[in-house]
Structure 1
Amino acid sequence: MQSVVSVDVVTLRFWGEDQGIRLGVAPRGHPPFAGELALPGVLLGRGERLVAAAHRALVTKLGAPEPAIAAIGQLVTFDEPSRDPRGPTLSIAMWAVLGPHDSPAQWVSFDSVPPLAFDHNAIVGTARTLLTGLLWKDPAFTRALLGHRFPATRAVELATSVHGTRPDPANLNRTLASVPGLNRTGERRRVKATGRPAAVWAFDDDQPSQPLHTRGTVSPDRD
């Protein structure tokens, strides 16, 4: 039997009320694993680009509106032959960042991911390690999560939730200063009623908001 290809999306949000990064999952609508939580995923259509398939998964499986999709990129391929009870299926894991919107998705932290269908827990675990490497090194990924302008306290919260440990402030400042197109402004912003105002960082306006490899065309829904 020839393998088919699925595109499964590790979908992230880091909105104003979120104190850490959140991962989107939703119940599957049909077998296998009907009703069980899973990452949004679809089967890759003939002639379809990976990013187009990821867009389709976000819209049809998470209920995300197109304008909320801030950025998409590719992570890794999973090739365990028994990962899908329907037969051999390759899974290409993608990452995506969504901006604020109303969605029926369930949002969880990396440290509280419930049991998921297929091998999606393994995908999440591997993705967390890979995303840890992308944070600060990929300006499009970093900007999609933090926005164009943000206080340093938000960077601390983001780094803590991705890495699992709170970063050293001095090391984090040096890391932020090394991100292409990111600059420390002269502004300070008080985030909480108590505590010192935090330094504000901002991306250059000419920085791309999407990775260069996030291109594709939309095709009909398949799963």
Structure 2
Amino acid sequence: MEQSVVSVDVVTLRYLPEDAGVTVGIAPREFDPFAGRLALPGVLLGRGERLAEAARRAVRAKLGVPDAAIDAVGQLVTFDEPTRDPRGPTLSIAMWGVVGPHEGPARWAPFDAVPALAFDHNRIVEVARNLLAQLLWKDLPFTRALAGAEFPATRAVDLTAALHGVRPDPANLNRTLAAVPGLRRTEERRRTKATGRPAAVWAFDPED
């Protein structure tokens, strides 16, 4: 039986203060198959390499993001369709990554405007979005990396809408935020461009 190889493909998210919503990092492939086609950053898993290390390597090499700007990475799901790679059977372990401000050549696209990608990467993005929506406000490393140490309530609305595809009910979202461990509503109110009105500011407790 032909042996499979293992690739690590990363759904890399960026959500900077100046961004209107969450965007996904993609870049042209350098080599065949699909040379020149846009794709998620991916690498073959090296012998003895941990998944998180491979994910960081993929984001550095394919998106040009320096390691210092990669805030966090985590594992999502495995794709095992035997024909997903024309070179032969390849398992794809989909990872998530969150990056901060940096200079780089990557292209960033909103979830609803991701163009046609190589391999099964559009399917990976679709599945990953649903899984990440479930992690938001529940998985603390993912949530803290994406939301930041503090944020106005309007940013929480925009972030939730970007992953779920629909805007949340404000009252339900406030209850969700109040239940997040280590997250508190501060006394500060911050005026935002989105509404022009002051919004409550939420902040995570400092990490040890």
TM range (shorter): over 0.9
* Secondary structure of the corresponding residue to residue 117 of structure 1: coil
Matched, 1:56 2:57: yes
Matched, 1:123 2:124: yes
Measured in 1, the distance between the counterparts of 2:81 and 2:17 equals 38
In structure 2, the residue matched to 1:113 is: 114
Measured in 1, the distance between the counterparts of 2:31 and 2:193 equals 45
Q: Once the two structures are superposed, what CA deviation does each residue of 1:59-115 show, in whole Å capped at 9, x if it has no partner?
A: 100000011000100000000000001110000000000001111111001101100
Return the letter of the residue paired with 1:18. Answer: D
* Bigger shift: residues 127-136 or 138-147: 138-147
Measured in 2, the distance between the counterparts of 1:194 and 1:135 equals 23
In structure 2, the residue matched to 1:214 is: none
In structure 2, the residue matched to 1:190 is: 191
Q: How does 1:65-214 map to 2 (within 5 A)?
A: 65-192=66-193, 195-206=196-207
Q: 1:125 Cα shift?
A: 0.5
Measured in 2, the distance between the counterparts of 1:206 and 1:37 equals 37
* Secondary structure of the corresponding residue to residue 92 of structure 1: strand
In structure 2, the residue matched to 1:20 is: 21
Q: Greater RCO between the two (CA within 8 Å, min separation 6)?
A: 1
Which consecutive unaligned segments of at least 5 residues does structure 2 have? Answer: none
TM-score (norm 2): 0.97
Q: 1:139 Cα shift?
A: 1.4
Return the letter of the residue paired with 1:44. Answer: L
Measured in 2, the distance between the counterparts of 1:193 and 1:50 equals 38
Measured in 1, the distance between the counterparts of 2:82 and 2:194 equals 54
Measured in 2, the distance between the counterparts of 1:2 and 1:33 equals 22
**Identity %, equivalent residues:** 72
Q: 1:196 Cα shift?
A: 2.4
TM-score (norm 1): 0.91
4+ long deviations beyond 3 Å: none
Measured in 1, the distance between the counterparts of 2:120 and 2:193 equals 40
Q: 1:193 Cα shift?
A: 8.6
Measured in 2, the distance between the counterparts of 1:70 and 1:187 equals 26
Measured in 2, the distance between the counterparts of 1:135 and 1:62 equals 24
Q: 1:192 Cα shift?
A: 2.6
Measured in 2, the distance between the counterparts of 1:101 and 1:183 equals 29
Measured in 2, the distance between the counterparts of 1:98 and 1:147 equals 11
Measured in 1, the distance between the counterparts of 2:125 and 2:160 equals 17
Q: Is the 8 A contact 2:178 2:184 kept in 1?
A: yes
Measured in 2, the distance between the counterparts of 1:78 and 1:28 equals 20
Q: Once the two structures are superposed, what CA deviation does each residue of 1:19-64 show, in whole Å capped at 9, x if it has no partner?
A: 1110000000010100000000000000100000001001100000
Please tell me the root mean square deviation across aligned C-alpha atoms, in Å. 1.1
